[in-house]
Structure 1
Amino acid sequence: MSKLDPPTQLEKISGNVVTESALSIVALLAGGPVAPLLPILAKSLASNRQKQRVESCLQGINEVLIAQGAAIQNLSDPQYKLINETVLTALHTTSIEKLTYLRQAVQNTLNFEALGDEEAVLLSRIIRDISAEEADFLIRNFQNQRIQLGALQENNPHALVIAPEGKDELVLAGLISLGLVIPAGPTIDDSGLMRFSSIVSKVIVLLKGPTQKNY
């Protein structure tokens, strides 16, 4: 009998062999008429490309965890949850740019010692659903105090103006749905304006790479 390979740091964190095909797992759980379709989908060229992207990301995450062996032994429960949820998110992420952000999120979580239980739940949900374009927008524009969609009669000098019917308007809509952009306030001066919510600073701490900067 061949000797089993020891579990990787990534497998120890996730509690399972994460490189197993996510579509195969879904097929087992789904049942019903959709189940036969999923293995067929897994044979597509797109599925092969996805497998390569995910395996590359997971290998990178495993290297990060190996390099931080001491930190792994002292993970708090919120850190463990956030890393685990980030790995699971990688399994169904097709964007190379977002996979890069997910790898960075694992690296940054190891240094995020003051992380509470509720923050871990909220940040896990945000990291799961945020797109790479939305993350880029946060990092580039977080220094703006206010956000303005279209031109009002009186422009706020501290507001980032987003042109209607453009790409940034769609990105802004996504950030609003995630609760990362909220109404600025009840005052007359803030009427019609929006701002970044307080959790955005921590989202950026998680996603931002060492070579990125706020513009």
Structure 2
Amino acid sequence: MDFLTMTGMLGNGFLVSFQIFVLTLLGSLPLGMLVAFAHMSRFKPLALLARFYISIMRGTPLMLQMFAIYFMPYYVFGINLTTDSKWQATIVAFIVNYAAYFAEIYRSGIQSIPRGQYEAAEVLGYSGAQTFCRIVLPQVVKRILPSITNEVITLVKDTSLAFSIGVIEMFSVAKQLVASQVSMMPFVIAALFYWVFNLLIDMLAGRLERRLDYYHD
């Protein structure tokens, strides 16, 4: 098999990895914010529930969570698994797992803002929503951006875990090609795909950090 054909097959696999990446971010970033607010809630049962959720998601392997979500409908509810079940379980597992990590990043960023800024905004007549959106949020984004970037880069690499329940993403394709071609080249090409994509993410995050430089701590 020539280099271009091999790269094309891995490229098709990367499109699946990219879909997992995008759908995970679309679901986990807003869910993480909700969990962060729940964690900081003065309503103790809600705060405890959020802490328990974060503890479970961060304290158990993502691969185990995927297996649990994939097999639960069958073993708990007797629902037959379909060809779409693997994909659905993968997306749900990635979203609920990464939401827990993002929640802790959000919480640390929000709680790092000095209380005096809230009091000053109140004196100026800002509502709670205006204070958060206009004063707190821009500073929080700047402070948490490096941590968010690290998690996003980790997510790109973690998409390879989807192979464990049979989702054919790029790593799965690379393994199949290595076995059929008796060559390590597919792994090298796959590594380049991951590296270049993460390099682009790092560059975009760096550019965004520079644009936020006017928010001085």
* TM-score bracket for this pair, using the shorter chain length: under 0.3
Query: What TM-score, normalized to structure 1?
Result: 0.22
Of Structure 1 and Structure 2, the greater helix share is in 2
Query: What TM-score, normalized to structure 2?
Result: 0.22
